[in-house]
Each structure stands twice: as structure tokens, then as C-alpha cells.
A and B are shown apart, each in its own frame.
Chain A
Amino acid sequence: MIPLLSSIIFLPLVGVLLVALTPSRLDKCIKYTGLLITGLGLLLSIYLVMCFDKTKSSMQFVEYCPWLTGLNISYHLGVDGLSLALIFLTALLGFIACLASLNIQEKVKEYFIFYFLLMVGMFGTFMALDLMLFYIFWETVLIPMYFLIGIWGGPRREYAAVKFFLYTLAGSVLMLLSILTVYFLAQPHTFDILKLSSVGFDPHWQMVLFLGFFVAFAVKVPLFPFHTWLPDAHVEAPTPVSVLLAGVLLKMGGYGIFRICLPFFKDAAHNLAPALAIFAVINIVYGACVAMAQTDFKKMVAYSSVSHMGFVILGVAALNSTGFNGAVLEMFNHGIITGGMFLMVGVLYDRAHTRDLSQFGGLSSSMPFYAFCLTFLSLASLGLPGLSGFVGEFLSLVGAFGHYPWLVVLAAIGLIVGVAYFLYMLQRVLLGTLNPKCVSYGDMTALDLISVVPLIIITFIVGFYPQIVLTFQQVTINGIAHLF
């Protein structure tokens, strides 16, 4: 049977070679190879989802081969309920962002080379079962993202790119230390995540190592004190890159917490859960408040994803199967919804070349399709019950309510501010009298629609019947949950 996981990871590398060989003036066919490769990746991941066995709790499609025998590093890949949804999300958003990248004009060749390297890094992070392999894929995401934001970004792109790079690197460098300490603490020295999950570290070390890992993931999730890179990176990144940045990169932090922090350091998780919950709620309320005060459309959506990722951490802090289910589902849903939202922002930016909300008004008369999609996605992202945004948040709230009732109440109040700033945005953009400047904006092209409609359909389906996604992750989540 072909090594499915490795082929998904290294398919984009084939793309890199193809694109590197084609001369840069044929940018049309570079774009089509891009679509071909990401499309193939999506098909492969759909095939992966189809023949994934929901009942098995252990890793599936495992690929193992010793890579650096001297350093005990092995090339070990595997998929379980937790990473399956995220891999599918990456493949889907990768394809859709590739669709959105078709209107990139300058230096198309380098763009797609970095784009494919980014895809390799993202896929690898979700599939790696060896700590060092995980770390290497975790860091390979940085270089292409730096160049993508840096070269094709907005006016303050240099500052934003450097800030993103240094911020994430500072976090992940701490993780390197923790990985090595874990390696030397585990008695049969090993980097293998599965073996390390069963090693009981002594409580003192658990606390230190938990924080060591957690800082790296908190920077990626953007938890409260470490979130300031996100708005800058989002505002300056080109649309397809910020779709990927919001859709997938934020989930790597959450995934890391589930894969490494919780199974390795159970006692530390217990003691730190209240602190986690507090930070999560700060994230939710603070993110919502700051988003309310934004005039830049993209920055507002960036802060809204800070607020939504707060629910993921709240779900984690609940330390029970409902909370975990909510967190993982929220990660998947948030990826889909925010990916769509950034596409919407991109569509508007391509026409207006500005993101200042006060420049728009009454667009729903001149751009009906755009109005429908934007309203739908905003409603999904403000957590309207019946759409997928609500299900994840609801499960996290229910999970966390058992232990921290007052925090959940605060989070619910935070939700109100969430509703306020999204509707206020809708009012400024869509409703009211048609802004004379916006008369000339044409409605969404077929290309934009093709990239947004699948996301809307998924949001509706998952919102209507969440069991579709939950059945995949149920067994794995119960596995993690019964540790606590």
C-alpha cells in the first residue's frame, strides 16, 4: 500500500520541483500546477478520511523508519482522530488559498515555491509522531511564511514578517529545550511521542516542562500575552497567506497542546487547568473588546480569531471529554469560518484597495452575493446556534462549566461583545446608504465564489449535524480524556 502520509507531505515538494523548472514568465501554467498539486493533496486527504477507521483508538497509516540512528531520531508518521480533521482542513484550505492565489501578479514562481514549502511544513506538523520530526516541521513553516508575508505583503510587511518570525522562534526555541530535557528524562531515551506518553515524569519536572512546551504553543494559538504578532501578521499578509495563517497555523498550537502537553504531563495539566481557563477567558473577552475598537477590517477579523481560539483553550482547560471534543471541533470550525472571512476581506480589498471600514457602506445593494456570503460567515463566526461556530463553543462552555461556572459566564458575556462587533461591521459594510466610492465595485467573480461556497456548505452541514466530524475524533478524544 503506498505510504499515504508521506505522499501527502511530500507531494508539494514535487510541486516545488515542477514550479522551479518552469520558466517564470509562464506564470499561468505555474498557477495551474499549483492548483493541480493542492487539488491532488485534497483528494489524497479525502481518501485518507474515507479509509480512516473510526473505531480504532491507536494510530493509523503509521510509517516508521530510523532516520538519524546516532541521535535516536526516527521518521515516524501516524494519524488518529485528533489530527485527521486538521489534515483535511489543511488540505482544503490549501486548495482554496491556492484558488485565491490565482490573482497574485508579481514573482509568481517564488510565491508558489514558498507556498508549497509552507504546505509541507503544515502537513508534517500534524502527522509527525517523533518529537524532533514534529519540531523540524514546526520550524520549516517559519521560513516560507516569513517570505510570503515579507515579499507579497502590505505596507508594513517587513516589520510584521520579522515580528512573526522572531516571536514564533522565541517560543519554539523553548520547546527545543523541553524536547531535549524530556528526551534525557525518559528512561529508555526516546523522542517517540507514543512511548513518551506512557512515561510518568516526576511532578516537579512536569510543571517546568509543561510550561516549556506550552509557551511555544501559546504563541502559536495566540494566547493573551503572546498574541500581538497576529494582527500585524494578518494585516500585512496577502489574502491567501492570511487564510492559511488563520486557518491552519493557529491550529498547530492547539494540536500541540493535545498531542504533547496533555498526555505527557497529566499532573501539571491538573494544577495549571484553572490558570489555563483564566487565560482562555481573558483571550475571549479581551479579543472581543479589542476587535470592537478596530477600524481595519482584517485586524478586526484577526482579533476575532484570538477570541475564538480562547474557546479552544477553555475546552482544553475543562479536562473532560466534552471540553476536548469542543476544543478540537472549534479548531476545525474556526479554520473553516475564519478562512472564509479572510477570503471575504480579500475580495473587498481587491476592489477597494483599502481595509478601512468607514470607506464602505450599503454594499449589499451593489454586491448581493458578497453580502450573502459575508453575512453568513459573520453569523457563523459570532456563534449563531445552528451554524458550526456555535457547536464548538457550546461544547467547550458545557465542558468547562462543571469546573469554572463563573468563568463560563464571563465567556458568555464576551460572546455578546462578539455579536456586537460583527454586526457593527456588517452594518458599516453592508447596510446603510450606498457609499458613492463603492458604486463601481463589481460583485464576486466566479473564482471567489468557488473558493467561498464550499466553506459555507461545510459550515452549514457541521452546524446542522456535528456528528459528521465528532464521530471521527470521538475515540481518540475519549482516550485522552480518560487520562484525567
Chain B
Amino acid sequence: MNIAHYIPLFPFLAFVINIFMGRRLKVASAYVSIAACVLAFIFSLLVFQGFSAGQGSYSLGTWLVINGKSLNFGVIVDPLTIMMLLIVTFIGCFILIYSIGYMHDDPRFSRYFAYISLFMSSMLGLVLADNFILLLIFWEGVGLCSYLLIAFWYERPAAAAAGLKAFITTRIGDTGFLVGILILFFACGTFHFTDLKSVTGPESLLTLAAILIFTGAMGKSAQFPLHVWLPDAMEGPTAVSALIHAATMVAAGVYLVARCFPLFSAHPMALQTVAVIGGISALMAATIATVNNDIKRVLAYSTISQLGLMMLGLGVGGLSAGTFHLMTHAFFKALLFLCAGSVIHAVGTQDIQKMGGLLSKMKITGATFCIGTLALAGVPPFAGFWSKDEILLTAWNNHHPILFVVALLTSFLTAFYMARLIFLVLFGSARSQLHAHESPLTMTIPLMVLSVFAAFAGFIGAPIKEVGMEAHGGSFLIMAISTVVSLTGLGLAYLLYIRRIVLIPVSSVSGLHNLLVNKYYIDEIYDYVLIKPCLRLCQGSFVFDAKIVDGLVNAMASITQFFSGLLRKTQTGLIQNYLFVQILSLVLLLIWLLKI
């Protein structure tokens, strides 16, 4: 029986309840959201169980009639959907539990949970949509929720500006996405994903469509040109960053590319761009993360870098490698953000230079933090290792040497900056007198559960693995290389930040250092190249409108007034002039008539 389309309804119901009865519910609103999330999770399991029993996607009815063809909306159910459903609902529940503790003294407590449930419902809707238009609707819904949540503490102007920046940047990506959909529709007349396999049409047009659709993914998954909004999005509550900007929403871009994989794989050029963009953003973000001093921004850049890695994985043709990394990354990145949140909740500042030696004071958070770091760095037993190895393997097997090196370098840098992070935060001596205390149970339980998954997701991933993934044990050489790379990263960080050995004099690297600290000046470049000229253009067009177009209208009026003043002078009041005009016009009339 088709119950898949009920999944998004539960969180939406929770949103409606929280919005309208939020005042009265007070703390209870959290339980409403959690209940909705749990229900959604159960239904996802049912759908998963139903799927293995063979119930696939189904349609719900016509939504629009375009060029005579009726576009009907439906639900698509396949392994990719189920994986995303499970991830979103599962991680969502724990993050909601965590948020109770994290947000318990916030005045707009119920509104927070309302927005989170709205986000959950649009994310689940996005995953279930079976055509581009429905996907676009939920896609923008997710963008809207990220805007509302980033600017949740709107008293802080920085948060409001970050929300605005996030929405506009994603919206730029979405415009490319919209144009891509239109080109695809006109090239092969369909919006539905199911027909993407059998798509035929002019080669160049479809490649352009694919690339444009990828720009949508770039906007949402903060890839290279449109990545500027994610670091600023850290203004929002950390639980939000954990759910939205680590696990689910940013993964939507990867999900989109995975969903349209048949389209991309049919056009190598499109796939190539995906890989290259992925590579660039992976490398760039990793380098910036190494020098950043804000705990959440480091994690934000690491998310961009990991997403770049996933895009690279997909780009080199590894559909399952990319999606597997997506699944594992969701777990340990959410864990890391929650740990960071608990640290900030305890210490009150986000600047890692001021922290130090917190492990002794915050046992559980510290431990889970280390597990997450190890998982992210790709140390063998943990989940990160398996999925990253998959990507390296596919990159190697599909003869992409440069991308392989880039992936390796990224994983090295990842290991380095994560190690730097935990060494500065947890180990060493406290650099400032911060009285840290362990977070309450509601925050630590999700940490523990997620750390378990971060550790063993690699193996749990097995059932997903046999879904179209080639043999795992292909070459141990790759595995060895990746382990060595991760360990050297950790070791280097150890030397630098625990032993304080100055390998390279800071002065010689200061130029590079400034470049990285200022995030390659991308924000400034955008501001200078895009935003300032656009504002000047708008100001210019307003002046043009007021002065020229309006001016013309007023000019016409004043010209007639001028002539009126002129002609008025002809009435001199002297009777002689009147008689003269009379006779003159008589004579002129005669000349005119007699000459004709």
C-alpha cells in the first residue's frame, strides 16, 4: 500500500501545530516535533520493508498541463530515496533531542521546532519527489527553512545578513537549475526522473542542461563558486548547522546529481565538470580550514571539502561511492557539529585559540569528538575510511590520476585540520580561564549514539554496498595509501600543535597564510565584482527612471505650458492688433485658397 507520501505530512503537521499553538505548548512543542520525526522514521522503515517486497513509485495526480502534456506528481521509491529517508529521519530525531537541551532557555523555543519540522517535511518531500518541478518546490522550501533558521536569532544583524546571503546564493543556483529544467523539457519533453534513462536529444543541449542542473546542486551543496554562504550560515544555532548544513540539506545537491546520474553519465563532459568542481572545492575548502580559528567555521569548510569529495566521487563515475560517502559523512559530521555545539554551550566562545584541555572537564563530549575526528580523518576502523577509500578506488579504477591525487591531498589536509582542531580544543593546557562543565544528558545521549554510528557506519553500510557496488577488496594498495596519508596528517598536526615544533618559519609562509585566512578573498571579490556593480546598476536605473522616463513625461507637459504662455502673449488687448490679425488671416486665407 502506498504510504510513502504520508512521510512529509507528519513533520508538516508538527510545523502547523507548533506555529499556531506554540505559545501554549512551550516545551511540549519539542515533543510534538520529535513524535512527528519518529513517526516519519517508522514509516520510512515500513517503506524500506515495502520496497524490498517490491512496492515501487506511484503517481498522485495531474498538477499542471504544459504544452498539452499533463505533468502529474508522484512519489519515487528506490534505494537512494530510502537511504536518504532513513538518514534524514534518524539523524533528525537525535538532533531534535539534542536541541531540547541546546535551546531550552530560548524565548522562541516553539518557533525553532516549528521551523525544524518544516525543514524535515520539505527535505523528505524533496527526496520523495518524482519530477523536477515537485523537487524544485521542496528544494526552495528547504532553502526557505535554512534562511529562517540561519536568521533565527535575528536580533543579531550578522545572522540576518547571513540568512539573506544564503537564500540569494542558493537562489542563484536555483535559477540555473530552473533554466536547466526548461532546456531538458524542451530537449526531450519530460520532467520525470524515471524517463531520464531513456532520454534522447541533441548532445550539446543535454550537456548544457546537465551542467545547469548541476549549478542548482552547486548552490545547495555550497560547491566552489557558490560556497560563500555556508561559512556565514554558522550564525544559526549549532543544532541547525548539524542537521541542515552538515547532514541533510547540503547533501541534497549530491542527491540531485545522484538522482540524475543516468543523464550525467550519458554526457561525459557534464560528469567531468562535476568532478572538477568537486575537486576544486574539496581542495580549496580543506586549505582554508587548516588556518581558521572558529570551531564551527572549520567544520563548515570541512563540510564543503567533503561535499567536494562526494561530487568528485560521483564525477569519476562512482555513483555508489559518492552516495556511500554521503551516508557516512552525514553521521560523523552531525556528530562533530553536535560536539562543537556542546563545547560552545559549555564554554560560551567559538574561538578555538581560547580553548584547551577540555577533555578532562568534558569527558563524553571529548570522547565522541575524538571518535568523530578519527572517522572524518579516515582512520581505518572508522566509517570515514571506508567511504573515502571507495572514492579513491573508483577514481583510480576509472583512470582519473589528477583527481586521485587531489582526493589524497584533501584527505591528508582533512586529517591535519581535524587533528589540529581536537588538539587545540581538547588537549594541551587551557589557554584561558574558561570554567567548562559537561552538557546535560539530553545533549550527550545523541552524541553517544551518533558516535557509535560514526564508528561502525562503514560496516552497516554493507547492505547498501551490494546495491550496485563492485567488489570491496579490489586493491589493498589504495587502502594502505589512504591510511598512511591520514596518519601522516594526524602526526604532522600532533607535532605542530602539541609539541609546538616550528617546522617552517611562519614568516616565509605568511603570504599563503594571509591568503588562506582571508578565504582567498572570494567574498571580497564577489562583493567587488558582483554586488557593488549590481547595486550601482539598480541605483542608476532608478535615477534613469526618475530623471529620463519620468522627465520625458514632465517635459511634454512643460513644453505645452511654454507654448501656452507664448501664444497667450498674442492677445495684447489692443483692438488694432485684433483687427490687424483679422485682416492678415483673411489675406493669408485668400493666398492659400486662390493659389491652390
Contacts and interface: CB of A to CB of B under 8 A. Distances in A.
A386 interface: yes
B157 A432 contact: yes
A420 interface: yes
Contacts of B140: 384-386, 390
B550 interface: yes
A444 to B, nearest CB: 15
Given A384-B140, A423-B168, A228 B553 contact: yes
Contact of A379 (B66, B133, B144, B175): B144
Contacts of A390: 137, 140
B142 to A, nearest CB: 11
Nearest to B549: A228
Contacts of A395: 64, 66
Interface string B138-168: 1111001001000100110101110110011
Interface in A384-409: 384-386, 390-391, 394-395, 397-399, 401-402, 405, 408-409
Interface stretch (B443-451, B474-482, B490-498, B539-547): B539-547
Nearest to A466: B64
Contacts of B561: none
B108 to A, nearest CB: 9
Interface string A124-163: 0000000000000000000000000000000000000001
Contacts of B168: 416, 419-420, 423
Interface in A465-480: 465-467, 470, 474
A406 B100 CA distance: 50
Nearest to B139: A385
B63 A466 contact: yes
B67 A289 contact: no
B155 A362 contact: yes
Q: Please indicate which of the listed interface residues B64, B68, B168, B553 has the most CB atoms of chain A within 10 Å of its own CB.
A: B64
Interface stretch (B48-56, B179-187, B250-258): B179-187
Nearest to B165: A423
Given A362-B155, A398-B185, A423-B168, A290 B137 contact: no
Contact of B175 (A321, A401, A413): A413
A412 B174 CA distance: 10
Name A's interface SS. helix
Interface stretch (B194-202, B364-372, B530-538): B530-538
A321 B62 CA distance: 17
A199 interface: no
Q: Please indicate which of the listed interface residues A286, A325, A408, A424 has the most CB atoms of chain B within 10 Å of its own CB.
A: A286
A423 B164 contact: yes
Contact of B541 (A289, A372, A413, A434): A289
B542 A408 contact: no
Chain B interface residue count: which class?
35 or more
A292 B540 CA distance: 11
Interface in A273-331: 286, 289-290, 292-294, 320-322, 325
Given A322-B67, A420-B168, A163 B186 contact: no
B166 to A, nearest CB: 10
A44 interface: no
A431 interface: yes
Interface in B113-151: 133, 136-141, 144, 147, 151
A119 interface: no
Interface in A178-230: 225, 227-229
B64 A409 contact: no
Given A320-B67, A386-B140, A398-B182, A415 B175 contact: yes
Nearest to B212: A409
B171 A416 contact: yes
The 7 closest A-B pairs by CB, nearest first: A431-B160, A293-B542, A292-B538, A431-B154, A293-B538, A385-B137, A386-B137
Given A394-B133, A432-B155, 12 more contacts: A228-B545, A228-B553, A290-B545, A292-B538, A293-B539, A379-B144, A386-B137, A399-B67, A419-B167, A423-B167, A433-B157, A467-B63
13 contacts: A289-B537, A293-B538, A322-B65, A379-B144, A386-B141, A394-B133, A395-B64, A395-B66, A399-B67, A412-B175, A415-B171, A416-B172, A420-B168
